[in-house]
Amino acid sequence: MKTKATASEQPVSNDGVSNSQVRPLLNWGDFEVVWVISRIGQLSRAAETLALSHVTLLRKLAAIETRLNARLFDRLRGHYTATAAGEELIQAAEHMAPAARAAEMRVIGQDLRPQGHVRITAAGVLTAHALPQVLGQFASAFPDVKVELLSTRDLVSLTRREADVALRISDAVPDWLVGRQLAQLDFKVYGLKRPGIQPRLQKHTTLARQRRWIAFESDARELKFDRWLLDEVPDSSVVLRVDSFEHALAMLRAGLGIALLPAFLERSCPELQPLTEAIGGLRTPLWVITHKELSQTMRIKVVMQAIGPALAHAIAAPPDPSP
């Protein structure tokens, strides 16, 4: 019959240290989450600072509290105040943060030649329709720089080294990151082209009442495109909700409805039929950005200097002729 080990009988490693001692419940990223939430006090703003979605940060905090079996914050009217347990972690994070950041960035910044791995994060619609040719050209020019491409709708954190370079569709970027604006992206409502039919452009308010729409998730409000669809398109007109422009495009191609999409897709998707002019309030810059301490690393410099302009050119190129 199996019996439960007592505290004195816990498994130990070869050096006599118990497994519970060599496997900490938290890593540095967990301490940083607690520290940033405490410093800012609001989860939505803390999520922006960490370059995470509100939902992702909420899940991370819940997971930390579950692992520790402790409540780290009191929540009152949207404001987060650290408990005594939370204060313990915050004090530890304040001591660790400067040393950890400085050491990490010194090591990363020691490269003098364009070689090594660079992790790039970009929205799926850029990954599928703007980056393939650009990355092909880059690979030929810099064969010793190995690119890892992360396609996600979420805002991936550069400061926590989840990515080295970000291609971000956003009105602004945090001031602790460096980079430049590559282009201004317009957005229109699209349907599928039909042979022999050239529809007149309409106001989106008319289409919102008359057509079947593919929209984003009803609980997503982090991006202005989410908010625009929720505000402008009644739920009764929505036949399907997806989590990205790339998925909206796929469903549109399947004939399920019309969708809001970035206008640069007209270049690679000649089957798209614009139904509106560019939506004025949705014009958004495209940025290429990195961390300040990484910006002078040779492999990061060549990515910023080569991929950025090539991507801007690819997006600005005129649409391909219709077949």
> pLDDT tens across 171-183, in order?
888 877 888 898 8
Q: Look at 17-21, 82-86, 117-121, 306-310 and tell me which has the smallest mean pLDDT.
A: 17-21
pLDDT at 12 over 80: no
As given in the structure block, the two tokens for residue 49 are 């600072």
The dihedral formed by the CA atoms of 218, 155, 160 and 78, expressed in degrees to the nearest 10: -40
**Yes or no: is domain 116-177+286-316 CATH 3.90.650.10?**
no
User: Looking at the domain 15-104, which fold is it?
Assistant: Arc Repressor Mutant, subunit A (1.10.10)
> pLDDT tens across 125-135, in order?
999 999 998 99
15-104 against 116-177+286-316: fold identical:
no
pTM score, two decimals?
A: 0.63
Q: How far apart are CA 68 and CA 78, in angstroms?
A: 23
Domains of the chain by residue range: 15-104, 116-177+286-316, 187-282
Contacts of 156 (CB under 8 A, 6+ apart): 51, 121, 150, 162, 163, 166
Q: How far apart are CA 262 and CA 282, in angstroms?
A: 10
Higher pLDDT, 201 or 28: 201
Report which of 291, 322, 302, 321 is spatially closest to residue 105, judged by C-alpha positions. Answer: 291
pLDDT at 155 over 60: no
The pLDDT assigned to 309 comes to: 82
> pLDDT tens across 230-269, in order?
999 999 999 999 988 999 999 999 999 999 999 999 988 9
CA angle 25, 29, 33 (to 5 degrees): 100
In CATH, the architecture of 187-282 is 3-Layer(aba) Sandwich (3.40)
The pLDDT assigned to 217 comes to: 82
Higher pLDDT, 108 or 271: 271
pLDDT at 220 over 70: no
As given in the structure block, the two tokens for residue 21 are 């001692």
| 13 half-sphere exposure, CB direction, 13 A CA radius | 8
The pLDDT assigned to 66 comes to: 92
pLDDT at 156 over 80: no
pLDDT band of residue 20 (cuts 50, 70, 90) is very low
The pLDDT assigned to 322 comes to: 43
Q: What is the mean pLDDT of residues 150-154?
A: 72
